[in-house]
Chains A and B, each alone.
Chain A
Amino acid sequence: MLTARPNLARDILIAAVALALLLLLPYVWPNKMINDLVIRVSAFALFATSLNLLVGYTGMVSFGHGMFFGFGAYAFGLSMQRLGVSIPTAFLITVLSSALLGLVVGAISIRLKDIYFSFITLAFQMLLYSTVIAWVPLTGGDQGLMGGIPRPPFLGVDLSIEAHRYAFAVTVMVAGLLILRQIVESPFGYTLRMIRDNTERASFLGINVFRAKLTAFVIAGVFGAIGGMVMALFVSGAYPEFVNWTMSGEGIFMIMLGGLSTFIGPAAGALILSVLNDVITRGTEHHGLFLGAVILLFALGLRKGVTDFIADWLRLNREAGSRGGN
């Protein structure tokens, strides 16, 4: 690209301010519970925003995105445990292997449209899940990756220190969201929107729809896997729940809760659902019952995400303002 996107500077500024605020948070409000929440939300924000690249921007309702989250956690954990590589190398292995996974699963799944696509992605996720459960010598089966993930220092960063872990997680999250933002605002991002709104027209205009969708699928998979990697670093392990279908269900709920028509909506949804999950887990042992009830209330009552309401409200205000000016 020869011409820089007009809003690039603004996006970088917002990202820098957000990162600075998040990095300052532990000094202003030193609270381990809040720190842990921010790290988990960082992982989920990457997961949900990457899912929204498919659902919100391309109209591909993947119900198997948890596959990448879990794969990222296991790929990273196994690289560290078995290969004894440095964290940046393990990061690279995670990115490359999840891209390969996205390429294979995507090449098969994208042949199917609409709801067929949803459940073939789910089926692939469950294949990975049953492999993780069955391949005990490698993955530890339903116990998960045990023994902790080694965290050797690199470039002056020591992730065995909690403050470093926090800074690393929020930096990866903000950088990841900034990159995803550039992707959705690029010409490629607008191609995806056109495919979502009118696939036929896009292909008449000479766009290779299959290739564009596959590219989106691979990109989303890689960022979903990075989310899983942040999670694996945080819990120092990887568990089958990361690969289970409920992960994908939660991802869908996150983007709906936050609102899929704004870029930041899914990340907001990740925050809301994480807080909600904490509250439910603390209050009752019947987690499914209560989370299910909340989801039903949302789906049958609210029907729109939080940032959708804010966006509507802002638009109404602006319209009222312009009317008042006339």
Chain B
Amino acid sequence: MNLVALTECLTSASCLVTQTTSGLIIGMLLFLVAAGLTLIFGVLKVVNFTHGSFYMLGAYLALTVNGLTNSYFLAVLAAAIGVALVALVFERFFMSKVYGSNVLMQLLVCYAFILIMDDAVKIIWGPEFKSMGMAAAFQKPPLFIAGGIVPVFYLFLIIVTLIISVVLWLIITRTRFGTVVRAAAVNPSMVSALGINTGLVFSGVFMLGGMLAGLAGGLAAPVRSLTAGMGFSILIESFIVTVIGGMGSIAGALLGSIMIGLVRSFGSIGFPLFVEGLMFLLMAIILILKPSGLLGKEG
């Protein structure tokens, strides 16, 4: 524990800026993963335990495409599309077979896929840590904001993830697909009775969720070291986020993600060995005060 360092940081503008930026990045990337998780849960009432593996797959796809084309843009695009397709196959041929069964069967199918994808990554890309390196476009001197150091790439990440969040919000609230998705979350059989193919909606939601996770993985690839276990740790964090924000609530996921991001970045100064513990502590407190999460519906 180092409360002196934490106080010093909180009272210095430069440190405040640096830590807030890094917290926002952690939070916004986490949000992309958690938003897909909470969306899938909201509509299908299924917790997709493979969601972290989608994120991992996105990062590795970006690594390969970046190596082949030397274009970070194409790498992120490939990560998003590639993972969306994997999510579609996973949903159609495996997950949809256990929608009607109990939670245990869904858990088992996800568990099997996490094992398979982790092993597949080890076989294809090797078991050692990989790093992608920064794209040339972002190899610029960092910006100084109020004395705090902010790398250009960080600023780019924050802006891009914000744009994605706004687009996601527009899709959900303003498009026909979004309306159907929201309706299916409330009453899927009614939506089905109105002549809408709910199976198609479910696949669409799964693809959208997978795409968001793939995007997050691709975007994060330059600033994370890639390893076969990376999916599971972000899965746990996304769970914490959705529990804090309220399951099924995208706004809650945003709030929870940013809280977790800030806890991580400032916690690493004050309690370097207890950062994970801080997240769980935050979750436990919120659960005790409001079991349905900050923005979740009661019941």
A residues near B (Cβ < 8 Å) are 55, 61, 63, 108, 111-112, 114-116, 118-120, 122-124, 126-127, 130-131, 134-135, 245-246, 249, 252-253, 256, 260, 286-289, 291-293, 295-296, 298-300, 303
Contact = CB atoms under 8 A, between A and B. Distances in A.
Interface stretch (B3-11, B150-158, B195-203, B275-283): B275-283
Given A61-B103, A289-B120, 9 more contacts: A61-B107, A122-B236, A127-B280, A249-B111, A252-B108, A253-B108, A296-B113, A298-B108, A299-B109
A293 B232 CA distance: 19
A119 B239 contact: yes
A293 B123 CA distance: 16
Given A124-B280, A249-B111, A288-B116, A115 B103 contact: yes
B119 A289 contact: yes
> Which of A55, A288, A289 gathers the greatest number of chain B CB atoms within 10 Å?
A288
Contacts of B103: 61, 114-115, 118
A63 B107 contact: yes
A249 B277 CA distance: 23
Given A296-B109, A303-B105, A123 B115 contact: no
6 contacts: A111-B288, A126-B276, A131-B276, A252-B111, A291-B115, A296-B116
Nearest to B229: A244
B104 A108 contact: no
Contacts of A63: 107
B276 A127 contact: yes
B243 interface: yes
Given A112-B291, A289-B116, A126 B236 contact: yes
Contacts of B1: none
A295 B111 contact: yes
Given A134-B273, A299-B98, A108 B284 contact: yes
A288 B273 contact: no
B94 interface: yes
Contact of A289 (B41, B101, B107, B115): B115
B119 A287 contact: yes
Interface string B22-60: 000000000000000000010000010000000000000
A28 to B, nearest CB: 36
Contact of A300 (B94, B240, B280): B94
A108 B287 contact: yes
Contacts of B109: 295-296, 299-300
A12 B105 CA distance: 34
Contact of B243 (A116, A130, A252, A299): A116
Contacts of A298: 108
A55 B273 CA distance: 34
B236 A118 contact: no
Contacts of B111: 249, 252-253, 292, 295
B13 interface: no
A195 to B, nearest CB: 16
Given A252-B111, A292-B113, A300-B98, A123 B105 contact: no
A286 B119 CA distance: 7
Contact of A256 (B94, B108, B280): B108
Nearest to A291: B115
Given A245-B232, A253-B108, A108 B288 contact: yes
A248 B107 CA distance: 11
Interface in B107-127: 107-109, 111-116, 118-120, 123
Contacts of B108: 252-253, 256, 295, 298-299
A220 to B, nearest CB: 16
Nearest to A125: B236
Nearest to B102: A61
A127 B274 CA distance: 10
Contacts of B280: 123-124, 127
A288 B120 CA distance: 9
A111 B287 contact: yes
A118 B204 CA distance: 26
A116 B286 CA distance: 14
B97 interface: yes
Contacts of B98: 299-300
Given A122-B236, A122-B239, A286-B123, A111 B291 contact: yes
A235 B288 CA distance: 39
Contacts of B119: 286-289, 292
A115 B277 CA distance: 22
A108 B288 CA distance: 7
Contacts of A300: 94, 97-98, 109
A118 B243 CA distance: 12
B288 A296 contact: no
Q: Sorted from nearest, which 3 A-B pairs have the closest CB atoms?
A: A288-B119, A292-B116, A295-B112
Contact of B112 (A108, A126, A293): A293
Contacts of A291: 112, 115
B104 A116 contact: no
Given A288-B115, A289-B119, A296-B112, A252 B287 contact: no
B276 A130 contact: yes
B247 interface: yes
A181 to B, nearest CB: 22
Nearest to A105: B284
> Which of B101, B109, B284 gathers the greatest number of chain A CB atoms within 10 Å?
B284
A26 to B, nearest CB: 34
Contact of B47 (A119, A134, A292): A119
